Amino acid sequence: MALFGVIDLGSNSVRLVVYKVHAGAKQPFTKKDFRNLIDEKKIAGLSAYVEDGQFTQAGIDRAAEVLDDHLRHANNIGCTNVHIFATAVLRNCENSAQVTRILEKTIGHEIDVLSECDEAHLGFVGATCDRNIEHGTLVDIGGGSTELTVIRNNTDSHCVSLGQGSVSSYAQFVNTVLPTLQETRAIEQAFAAQLDTLPSIEPYRAKRIYGIGGSVRAAAKMCGGILGNGKRLKVVAADQLNDMLAALESSPHIFAHTAAAVAPDRLHTLVPGSIIVRTLMHALGATHLEICRFGIREGYLIERVLGGEK
C-alpha cells in the first residue's frame, strides 16, 4: 500500500487527508481502492484576510503556518507524496497569482489553484466514486462559493460557480452567531439574486439533488438533531429542511443548543449554508437532497493524483 496526502485549502478550514491506496489499484478508481488513514481539519478563517479584493500578508502568514503544520504531520507518518489544492479563497482574490507564488516559496511546495469548472468536476468524480448517479444536480456549498453541476447518464456537464457560500454569507449578513429572521431573509435574497445571473436555470432542475461538502452534511446533521434521533440523515426532504429552519424562529434556545451539539465547528455557518440549500431546492424544484459521503478531495485523489492528470 502507498500513502498519498491531499490538503484542501478552503475559505474557512484547511484539511489534510492521508489515504492508503491499495496495491494494484487500477483505473477506473473507486472507493474500494483507498481508505482514509488521517483526516485532520484546522480552522484558519482565510476569507477574513481578504481586504478590498486583496489577500493580505497576514493571510499569507496564517495560510503558511497551517500548511506547514499539515505538511509536517504528513511527513511524520511517512507520507511524503502530498498534494495541495486551493479553491475560492485564492482563486477569487485579485492578487491570486502573486499570493500563490509567495505561499509556494514560503512552504516549499506547489499549490494547485482550481478553476471553477475543475472544482465542480472533481466534486462529481468524488461523489460518484461509491455510487452511480444517473440524473440530478450536484451541489457543493463551500465557504466562498457554491458549485452546481448537471448530471445526466452518469456524466457531468453545465458546471457553474456562484459567488456566495456559507462563510461569505455569514460574514456579509450576520452580526452575531446565529442569524435573525431578517438576516436569514437577506441571505436568501442574495443567493436568489446569484441564481438569477444564470443564463437559464432549466438544466439544473431536478427532483433529487446531491450534496457534497461540510455545509450540506451539517444541514443533514441538524435536521437529524432537531427532527429525529440526532443522527445525520442520508437523505433530507425539503419539508424536513423547512421544519429545521423554522425551529430557529420558534425555539431559538433549543436550536442553539442542538447546533452546538451536532455541528460545533460550523456553528456560525450552519444556518447560512442551510438557507442556501433551501433556496436551491425551491428554485430547482427539488423534493430531496441526498448526502454524498465523498467529494472534491477524493475526486482530486482519483483524477489528479492517482490518474496523473494535471
pLDDT at position 1 over 80? no
CATH number, domain 131-291: 3.30.420.150
The CATH superfamily assigned to 2-116 is ATPase, nucleotide binding domain (3.30.420.40)
What's the pLDDT band for 309 if we cut at 50, 70, 90? very low
What's the pLDDT band for 310 if we cut at 50, 70, 90? very low
Give the tens place of pLDDT for each residue, 147-201: 999 999 889 999 999 999 999 999 999 999 999 999 999 999 999 999 999 999 9
Enumerate residues 6+ apart whose C-beta is below 8 A from 169: 187, 190, 191, 269, 272, 273, 275, 276
Give the tens place of pLDDT for each residue, 23-82: 888 888 999 999 999 999 999 999 999 999 999 999 999 999 999 999 999 999 999 999
Where do you find CATH 3.30.420.150 in the chain?
A: 131-291
Where do you find CATH 3.30.420.40 in the chain?
A: 2-116
